[in-house]
Amino acid sequence: MKLIKNLYLTNLFFYIFSGIIALFIASFVVEFLFPIAQALLVISIAVLVVDLLLVFHPQADVTCERILPKVFSLNDENPIRLVLYNSYSLPLNLTIIDEIPDQFEERDFVRKLQLAPYQEEEIAYALVPKSRGEYVFNAVNIFMSSTFGLVERREVKDLKKALPVYPSIIQMKNFELKAFSRTSTLQGVKRLRRLGHSYEFEQIKNYVRGDDYRSINWKATSRQGKLMVNQYEDEKAQQVYCMIDKSRVMKMPFNGLSLLDYAINTSLVISNVALKKYDRAGLLTFSDKIGTVVKAERNASQINKILQALYREQERHLEANYELLYQASRRVVKGRSLIFLFTNFESLFAAERVLPILRKINNLHLLVVVFFENTEIIDYSEKEVTNVEEIYFQTIAQKFISEKQQIIQKLRQYGIQAISTSPNELSINTINKYLELKSRGLI
């Protein structure tokens, strides 16, 4: 029964025996085809028996190992490797079907290869998860056939394993390198000229041309007999909070992810950069009620706390309660802090409705409101129109774009920093804003 369960007939088997049956049928008309058909039948059965003996030989075996990362990174290419080894003394043709997680909705994942005797081969592929949660890899099905290729033997390798999909750890590491690399200007991170300096003293150094003459230390100059200047550095241990709106306005999809997922990825990135800059990073999520709160700290486990908190966040179907956000900012955030508020405004009315509360928060802290451009509307407004109906729709699209610009102007009118960005440029624009505010000494 085990042999029958794992036995599969190939297309070649059906082609050969269908041809033999056709010869037997034709022999009723052409008699000399009958002995030919008989001979071919005997030969084919003999080859079939040999093929069965080869494929189902006790030593015919292929070992398989699936190599996975410890965790998956959201919206990134995550590498997976299958390592196969032929422990048989004859070559084998393999068809591999990996039972990848259901979330990818791939029902035709098949790889084919040929293994020589005692040969090891590796199959590499990548998967891009589009939602957070647990992804379960099931068995690897291996179909083995010999050189004859009439039958296949199925081997099921039980390699079941569950992996969590976290916010993009890969992006976090990449943007960390970009934020601190000297070549980062080539990768989108802006190096900004310092317009002022903070008052955190670093050292006294020799004056060089271009130094601010207002930083000259006259006492040190008189002692050394040459110009000496005070050198300052960015203030450290400042609080940087990411506040994420997870109400229904953040459910809008873009390239397979929701706006909330983009905000979560960017919150992880900016928190990591802030910690590397010796600032303290914190997190607060809200919708119709306050969600996760991680108080701003700077210790070895802080980024892991934020990562675990972001992993569990899900969109809610109700509207955001900004009154609760204001109360939480008074209760949780102690001392003046930099706050990145990730939300979305699709109309000027929606922004004006919460503007009084945003102004209150900005009076206590340095508030940066981050919301999203609707790239589909922008693309539609720029395409060529051919009839009156399209002109009408394009005019409406341009009205929406104009309202986004009015929202930015309205926020800046009241001293609130604003970022309007496409989702795929959210992380880089947020980092640039953080570095800009640091360089200007506003936090």
Say yes or no: 184 and 131 in one domain: no
Closest CA to 363 of 375, 355, 371, 353: 355
Task: Give the CATH number for residue 284.
Answer: 3.40.50.410
Please tell me whether residues 101 and 25 are part of one structural domain: no
Mean pLDDT on 351-364: 94
Instruction: Report the C-alpha gap between 308 and 85 in whole angstroms.
Output: 38
Confidence check: pLDDT of 75 > 60? yes
| 327 Cβ neighbours under 8 A, 6+ residues apart | none
Q: 147, 166, 185: which is the final residue of a domain?
A: 166
Q: pLDDT for 80-138, tens place per residue?
A: 999 999 999 999 999 999 999 998 988 788 999 999 999 999 999 999 999 998 999 99
375 in any annotated domain: yes
Q: How far apart (Å, rounded) are the C-alpha atoms in residues 195 and 212?
A: 11
If one counts the domains in the chain, the total is 4
Clarify whether residues 225 and 342 are in a common domain. Answer: no
**Same domain for 381 and 252?**
yes
Same domain membership, residue 301 and residue 359: yes
Is 198 a member of any domain? no
Strands 228-233 and 200-206: antiparallel
Same domain, 144 and 217: no
- List, for residues 303-332, the tens digit of each pLDDT value: 999 999 999 899 988 899 999 999 999 999
Q: Is residue 419 a contact partner of residue 407, using CB atoms and an 8 Å limit?
A: no
Band of residue 377 on the pLDDT scale cut at 50, 70, 90: confident
Residue 187 lies in a domain: yes
As a whole number of angstroms, the distance between CA 229 and CA 419 comes to 36
In contact, 62 and 87? CB cutoff 8 Å? yes
Average pLDDT over residues 287-293: 93
Residues 27-70 pLDDT 10s: 998 888 999 999 999 999 999 999 999 999 989 899 999 999 99
| Residue 183 pLDDT greater than 50, yes or no | no
The mean pLDDT value of the chain amounts to 88
Q: Cα dist. 128→109, 168, 269, 409, 428 in Å?
A: 14, 11, 19, 37, 21
Domain membership of residue 43 (yes or no) is yes
Distance between CA atoms of residues 246 and 342, nearest Å = 9
Q: What is the CA radius of gyration of the chain?
A: 33
Quote the Cα angle for 202-237-408, to 5°: 110
| Crossing angle for the helix pair 348-364 and 322-332, to the nearest 10 degrees | 10
Q: Is the pLDDT of residue 261 over 50?
A: yes
- pLDDT for the residue numbered 195: 44
User: CB of 284 within 8 A of CB of 243?
Assistant: yes
Residue 296 phi/psi, 5-degree rounding, is -65, 125
- Is 147 within the bounds of a domain? yes
**Same-domain status, 315 and 390:** yes
Same domain for 155 and 87 = yes
Condensed to tens digits (0 to 9), the pLDDT of residues 139-172 reads 999 999 999 999 999 999 999 999 999 998 888 8
Q: For residue 76, give the CATH number of its domain.
A: 2.60.40.10
**Residue 199 falls within a domain, yes or no?**
no
CA-to-CA distance for 374 and 372, rounded, in angstroms?
Answer: 6
d(CA 154, CA 8): 7
Residues 86 and 50 in one domain: no
Report CA-CA distances (Å) from 178 to 246, 262, 263, 438: 28, 19, 19, 16
What residues make up the domain containing 388? 169-193+235-439
Contact partners, residue 351, CB within 8 Å, separation at least 6: 345, 407, 410, 411
The residue among 55, 71, 96 that closes a domain is 55
The reported pLDDT for the residue numbered 221 is 87
298 and 400: one domain? yes
Is residue 67 domain-shared with residue 136, that is, in the same domain?
yes
What's the full length of the chain, in residues?
A: 443
Let me know if residue 332 belongs to a domain.
yes
Question: Tokens 């794992």 appear where?
Answer: 6
State whether 178 and 316 are in the same domain.
yes
Is 50 exceeded by the pLDDT of residue 186?
Answer: no
